[in-house]
Chains A and B, each alone.
Chain A
Amino acid sequence: MKKTIIVLLGLLLTAGILFAGGQKDQGKAKAPAAAKSAPAVVKIWGWRTQDADVWKKAQEALQAKGENIVIKYETFVPTEYDSKVLLSLQGGSAADIFYTRRLPGARTQGLIDNGYLVPLNGKVDLKAIPETTLNSIRSKGKVWGVPFANQVVGIFYNKDIFDKYGFSEPDTWAQLVAISKKLKADGITPFMIPGKAGWALAMQHAMVGVSSPGSDWIGKLAKGEAKFTDPEFVNIGKRLNDLKVYYQKDFIANSTDEMSAGFALGQGAMVFYGIWGGTNWKKLNPDFHYGFFPVPVVKKGDKPAVYVYMDGAYGLNPASKSMDAALKVLSYAATPAYGTTFSNVTGEMTAVSGATLPKDKLILQECYKTANEMAAANTYWVGSVFQNGTPNVYSILREKMQSMYLGDITPEQLAQDVQDGLATWYKPLQK
């Protein structure tokens, strides 16, 4: 008898495991009858936590237009986001709309090549988005997403400190060093640097590079007419290595959060960063006044440039069960009205032209202007050809910059390591 009971329990447990979830499906089967007038739910996945309010306002705007749509926005940490999307798309459980990275790039291209993105030509009116921006999400002649933001990186500075000393925005690297020297002599840390964040150091190198030697030289690099070991590239490392005496002590142990806190609370006068940092700085210190200038050029008279890039786009899942509603959301996201909301909430540059940028955010307008007038055509950071193999320029620079700052390698060695790493797969550099 005992044996029979044990066996029955075993069978029951097995059945329980095999049929677990069955009840949930039954529940689903009953749902349609009750949900006749239920709103269409559009799920959106992204890596940007700062966009939650943007989507709330977008939902309000759509509902005000009579659309019965509810937007559910969910975020995942940036380092896990791409894997989450890849696995969910293949498992059929991804959101209706999901944020995608810019092109060229293996991740987004992989989604396109394998049919996990819907081309939006003819489905979404994209005329409010400039062609140059659309190019960053164009492949095979089609547009695969609605771009949401352009980012600009450069040097952000504490206006109160600059005003106190009567400094104006420097035009040359020498002027930048002179400002740093004066600040340091007065006990003010000239630069807050997040040395722990290798990616931020790689970005710092890239933003210095677009001003001097500049976009044209980087173009030659891409064609194989120049090398990373040339003096032009070595000198970027040298200039930065010389500048480190003006960084906060032990900067190599500081994260981007610590850098932001230090900068916003007036512990440092300048940072090499991106416009997306502004929202956080203002949250940390609402009275914080900051300005922006491109990394100064070495030779007086040369034109500085800034690294501007499309941050990402909203892609449409071909397996979406709310396709019509999702297309309505995407169509709205491509309008100046959405762009206005986006910029007002996030303090970042919308990718949509014709949007009204917030009047109280002068810095945004300044960056917008700078981005339009000084954007570098070529770069060696995110989105460049040097990112399309392994090891890529980003993975090399993020570690080697730390090594250089720690004094373990010279700027010449850094340049050699970049050249050697990329030459293993990038043919123009193998000449």
Chain B
Amino acid sequence: MTARKLFNKYNYLILIIPALLLYTLFIAYPFISSLFLSFFKWPGIGPKLFVGLDNYKNVLTGYMSREFFRALGHNFYFLFLNWTLSIVPGIILALSLAAGIRGSDFFKTIFFIPNTLSIVIVGFLWALLLNPQWGMINQVLKAVGLDVLAKAWLGDTKLALPTIIVITGWRGMGFYVLTFLAAVVGIDHSMLEAGRIDGASENQIIFKLVLPQMVPIITTVTILKIIWSFNIFDIVFAMEGTQGGPAGSTDVLGTLFYRIAFGGLGSSQVGMGLGATVVTLIFLIVFPVSVLYIYIIERRELRG
């Protein structure tokens, strides 16, 4: 084979080098470095001390285990409640908009506006609105005689996490509505018409024809939701700080990692190795789900 032919055969390698370099630099290297670090004790400076699996022992069965499993539980709780509060209303609103209610374009915009705001700004604004003494939410509740419902939303261990989840759901609603709306609009209308001609009621059309057609998009959104729920950090950080207060009731794996790896105000201890261990464990949860997501997407494309 001549040199030119060889070049022509392998020139695709040259084309993927830029992307490969970026991927290696910003994704692969930090991840491998983090994995490596999880076997060391390192306060962020000086020599790294190899400790084998000690960090994993400390996180899974040692002094960090209570905080780790509590945070993990909160991530699961976040996933289930957030899924329920996003998917179900998202489908209902998408179906309403698809049915051609008056002002549907206006509502589409309204639903999507919160999504354009940074999550940190959303957290900050809601923290102001939910202030127990002078926040607008409690003021309105008191003004209409619902004093019993005027709670310390972010200061109650039972209410704080659900409150944050509801706000996250509110902020993301536009995305789900538009995603589901696109799926509904894409359904073959002749099939729905055939159903109507055959005497199916509107409920039967929704439950027997529309929803089954939406299963692939609901699956995709659910998988994305699992990945996002285990990477959650910013909204909790914005509303309750890195401690995930009150009394750790909103602590998630993201805030736990931040506290361990970077310490905090007044703390004299930082544990980069221990933090890397938490990151690795988050990865072990998220990675199989990501693989499943890619598999489903690729299978759908192949079916195309």
Residue in B21, B152, B242 whose CB lies within 8 Å of A253: B152
Least CB separation from A197: chain B residue: B241
B contact residues around A203 at 8 Å (CB): 266
Give chain A interface residues in 223-278, CB to chain B under 8 Å: 248-255, 258, 262, 267
A124 → B minimal CB distance (Å): 24
Segment from A51-59, A289-297, A331-339, A388-396 that makes contact with B: A388-396
Contacts of B18 in A (CB 8 A): 10, 13-14, 17
Question: Would you call B197 an interface residue if the criterion is a C-beta within 8 Å of the partner chain's C-beta atoms?
Answer: no
| B132 within 8 A of partner (CB) | yes
User: Please, which residue of chain A has its CB at the minimum distance from the CB of B262?
Assistant: A83
**Residue numbers in B under 8 Å from A41 (CB-CB):** none
Q: Report the separation of the CA atoms of residues A399 and B241 in the bound assembly, to the nearest whole angstrom.
A: 12
- 15 further interface pairs, Cβ-Cβ under 8 Å (given A14-B17, A83-B261): A7-B11, A10-B15, A106-B269, A107-B268, A111-B45, A196-B155, A196-B246, A199-B265, A258-B133, A267-B133, A387-B268, A394-B266, A402-B247, A403-B247, A424-B63
**Is residue B174 within 8 Å, beta carbon to beta carbon, of the partner chain?**
no
Check B8 against A3 for contact (C-beta < 8 Å): yes
Q: Across the two chains, which residue of chain B brings its CB closest to A203?
A: B266
B131 touching A258, Cβ below 8 Å:
yes
The CA of A11 and the CA of B17, in the complex, are separated in Å by: 9
Instruction: Give bound CA distance, A339 to B151, whole Å.
Output: 47
Instruction: Check B247 against A399 for contact (C-beta < 8 Å).
Output: yes
B246 and A392 contact, CB distance less than 8 A? no
CB distance from B300 to the nearest CB of A (A): 29
Residue among A13, A89, A203 with max Cβ neighbours from chain B (10 Å): A13
Minimum C-beta distance from B227 to chain A (A): 25
| In the complex, B222 has a CB within 8 A of chain A | no
A-B complex: 6 closest residue pairs judged by Cβ atoms: A253-B155, A250-B152, A250-B132, A252-B155, A253-B152, A402-B247
B interface size (C-beta, 8 A): 44
CB distance from A192 to the nearest CB of B (A): 10
CB < 8 Å neighbour of B21 from A14, A114, A202: A14
| Interface residue? B245 (CB, 8 A) | yes
Is B44 interfacial (CB 8 A cutoff)?
yes
A406 touches B157 (CB 8 A): yes
Tell me if A86 counts as interface (CB < 8 A to partner B): yes
What 0/1 pattern do residues 230 to 271 of B give for CB contact below 8 A with A? 000000000011110111100000000000011111111111
B263 / chain A contacts, CB cutoff of 8 Å: 82-83, 107
Is A304 an interface residue, CB under 8 A from the partner?
Answer: no
A116-B45 CB under 8 A given contacts A17-B22, A82-B263, A408-B157: yes
Please determine whether A110 and B46 come into contact, CB atoms closer than 8 angstroms. yes
Contacts of B132 in A (CB 8 A): 249-250, 253-254
Give Cα A11–Cα B12 distance, bound, in whole angstroms. 11
CB contact between A399 and one of B153, B243, B261, B267 (< 8 Å): that residue = B243
The answer to whether A168 has its CB under 8 Å from any CB of chain B is no
Given contacts A199-B265, A252-B246, A254-B155, contact A17 B45 (CB under 8 A): no
Nearest chain A residue, comparing its CB with the CB of B269: A390
Q: Which of B44, B63, B265 has the most CB of A within 10 A?
A: B265
Residue B43 is within 8 A (CB to CB) of chain A in the complex: yes
Q: How far is the CA of A381 from the CA of B266 in the complex (A)?
A: 9
- Residues in A with CB closer than 8 Å to B17 are 10, 14
The answer to whether A349 has its CB under 8 Å from any CB of chain B is no
Expressed in whole angstroms, the minimum distance between the Cβ of A137 and any Cβ of chain B is: 14
Contacting pair B243 A398 (CB below 8 A): yes
Bound CA–CA A58/B14 (angstroms) = 55
In whole angstroms, what is the CA distance A406 to B249 when docked?
Answer: 12
Kindly state whether residue B97 has any CB partner on chain A within 8 Å: no
Q: Are A78 and B15 in touch, CB under 8 angstroms?
A: no
CA distance A421 to B64 in the complex (A): 11
CA distance A114 to B63 in the complex (A): 28
Determine if A394 and B247 form an interchain contact, defined as CB atoms under 8 angstroms apart: no
Give Cα A196 to B236, complex, Å: 13
Contact A83-B44, Cβ < 8 Å, known A13-B18, A390-B269, A392-B269: yes
Check B14 against A82 for contact (C-beta < 8 Å). Answer: no
The answer to whether B154 has its CB under 8 Å from any CB of chain A is yes
A101 at interface, CB cutoff 8 A: yes
Q: How far is the CA of A105 from the CA of B45 in the complex (A)?
A: 14
Chain A residues with Cβ below 8 Å from B130 are: 253
Q: Can you list, as one digit per residue, whether each of B152-176 has a CB less than 8 Å from chain A (1) or not (0)? A: 1111110000000000000000000
B44 close to A110 (CB less than 8 A) = yes
Tell which of A111, A391, A406 touches B247, judged by Cβ atoms closer than 8 Å: A406
Question: Shortest CB–CB separation between residue B74 and chain A, in angstroms?
Answer: 14
User: Which chain B residues in 266-282 approach chain A with CB under 8 Å?
Assistant: 266-271
Report B43-56 CB contacts with A as 1/0, cut-off 8 Å: 11110000000000
Task: Name which residue of chain A comes closest to B251, CB basis.
Answer: A399
> Which of these, B154, B262, B267, contacts A196 with CB under 8 Å?
B154
Contact call A114/B45, Cβ cutoff below 8 A: yes
The residues of A that contact B14 with a CB separation of less than 8 Å are: 7, 10-11, 14
The listed residue (B46, B248, B265) touching A78 by CB distance below 8 A is B265
| Pairs across A and B, CB under 8 Å, 30 listed | A6-B15, A10-B14, A11-B14, A14-B14, A14-B18, A14-B21, A79-B242, A82-B262, A86-B44, A86-B45, A101-B268, A111-B45, A113-B46, A114-B46, A195-B155, A199-B264, A249-B133, A250-B151, A250-B152, A253-B130, A253-B152, A253-B156, A254-B131, A381-B266, A387-B267, A389-B269, A394-B266, A399-B243, A399-B248, A402-B245
Task: Report the bound CA distance from A230 to B151 in whole Å.
Answer: 36
- Shortest distance in angstroms between A51's beta carbon and chain B's nearest beta carbon? 17
Asked whether A37 is an interface residue with its Cβ less than 8 Å from the other chain, the reply is no
B268: chain A residues at CB < 8 Å are 101, 104-107, 382, 387-388, 392
Residues of A near B43 (CB, < 8 A) are 106-107, 110
Cβ < 8 Å to B, chain A residues 388-426: 388-392, 394-395, 398-400, 402-403, 406, 408, 421, 424
In the bound complex, residues from chain A placing their C-beta under 8 Å from that of B44 are: 82-83, 86-87, 110
Complex CA gap A78/B262 in Å reads: 11
A80 located at the interface, meaning its Cβ lies under 8 Å from any Cβ of chain B in the complex: yes
Instruction: Enumerate B2-35 residues with CB–CB distance to A below 8 Å.
Output: 8, 11, 14-15, 17-18, 21-22
A83 touches B270 (CB 8 A): yes
Provide the bound-state CA to CA distance between A395 and B271, in Å: 14
A106 to B247, CA, bound (A): 26
**A90 close to B (CB within 8 Å):** yes
Report the bound CA distance from A255 to B130 in whole Å. Answer: 12
A421–B269 CA distance with the chains assembled, in angstroms: 15
Chain A: which residue is nearest B127 at the CB level?
A255
Taking the nearest CB of chain A, how far is it from the CB of B62, in angstroms? 9
